[in-house]
Chain A
Amino acid sequence: MAFSPFCRSSWMRRESASVDREEAELIKAVRAGDTAAFEPLVRKHQARIFGIARRYARRESEVEDIVQEVFLKAYRKLHTYHGEAPFEHWLSRIAVRTCYDYLRAHQRNREYCFAELSEREEDWLNRATADPGSAREDEEAAKALVQKLLNMLPPQARMVVTLLDIERRSVKEISELTGWSPSLVKVRAFRARAAMRRLLKRISCDKYL
């Protein structure tokens, strides 16, 4: 039997409401002192938090540390969650802020060396410089190159480029996630894009001079 769009949406609403209720009960139990009730919440949301953390940290051990820290913070701050927004959003906010703290703590380790570009990355850059339209091939090289560029950006710039340009979140969403005002997000986005272009120019200068 095929679901009509109306049936499907109402079924989804019911399903989501029951999930929310279950989640709310678990949160209530944790607040009442039942630590074990936190485990299903971790199991449910950990994949998403790993996805967020892997955008900012490269080493798997660092990613795991970040995710662990996120859940530890969530457990400690659970009394501040009042259920106005879905639990997942609240958790994502903690994750983004923890990742930002991680970036700030590790900003001295950022790479400034462009000599480490692989042959494929250089090749991609050469083709993109000569004819930007032809740079579609060798996606892997482009991905590696953008990862290197992001590693070279300051924490604020990396955060805003990732959230705004790569994850395509709105300014309002970023403002809620990071705690920055919308105008600050816009200013930081403008500066981040300029920093990224400067880095690209530096790469080309290093290469051709």
Chain B
Amino acid sequence: MNAREIEKKLIEAARRIPADERVPYRFERRVMARIQEAGRNEAGTAWAVLWWRTAVSSLALSLLLAFFSLATRSPAQSSSGTSLAEQFESTMYAAIDDWNGSW
């Protein structure tokens, strides 16, 4: 069998097949609905990713601060009760303390 010759014949036959360009009724509407749906999903996913990143970075920051406050706490400070965390707390609440004192 001459495979090359038969291959040639088959390819010639395939060339004579016209491209089938039929389009289902209102296909463009389906595509547009899919695009809009994908857009909504993407917006939801983007928000979820943003929230997740914020949560992770907040957790990392709080862990870092906790570690830092523990690491910088000297024995003298711990005995006198003026650790970094306590200093931070007293600074944060200073305004309220003053306000309480003015009553």
Contact = CB atoms under 8 A, between A and B. Distances in A.
Interface string A4-44: 00000000000000000000000000000001101100110
Given A39-B28, A46-B28, A68-B30, A135 B14 contact: no
B32 interface: yes
A26 to B, nearest CB: 13
Contact of A135 (B6, B16, B36): B6
Contacts of B4: 197
Nearest to A142: B13
Interface in B7-62: 7, 9-11, 13-17, 19-24, 27-32, 34-36, 38-39
A71 B35 contact: yes
Interface residues of B, number: 32
A189 interface: no
B11 A165 contact: yes
A193 B9 contact: no
Given A68-B34, A200-B1, A142 B28 contact: no
A165 B15 CA distance: 8
Contacts of A145: 10, 13
A204 B34 CA distance: 47
A128 B6 contact: yes
Contacts of B19: 51-52, 54-55
A101 interface: no
A50 interface: yes
Most chain-A Cβ atoms within 10 A of its Cβ — which of B1, B15, B30, B39?
B1
Given A43-B28, A132-B5, A149 B23 contact: no
A107 B37 CA distance: 30
B24 A143 contact: no
Contacts of B9: 128, 132, 135-136, 142
A64 B28 CA distance: 11
B35 A142 contact: no
B3 to A, nearest CB: 4
Contacts of B15: 165-166, 168
Interface of B: 1-7, 9-11, 13-17, 19-24, 27-32, 34-36, 38-39
Given A72-B34, A135-B6, 11 more contacts: A35-B32, A39-B31, A46-B23, A54-B19, A64-B24, A67-B27, A68-B34, A143-B14, A146-B11, A166-B14, A200-B6
Interface of A: 35-36, 38-39, 42-43, 46-48, 50-52, 54-55, 64, 67-68, 71-72, 75, 125, 128-129, 132, 135-136, 139, 142-143, 145-147, 149-150, 161, 165-166, 168, 193, 196-197, 200-201, 204
5 contacts: A46-B23, A50-B20, A71-B35, A143-B14, A200-B1
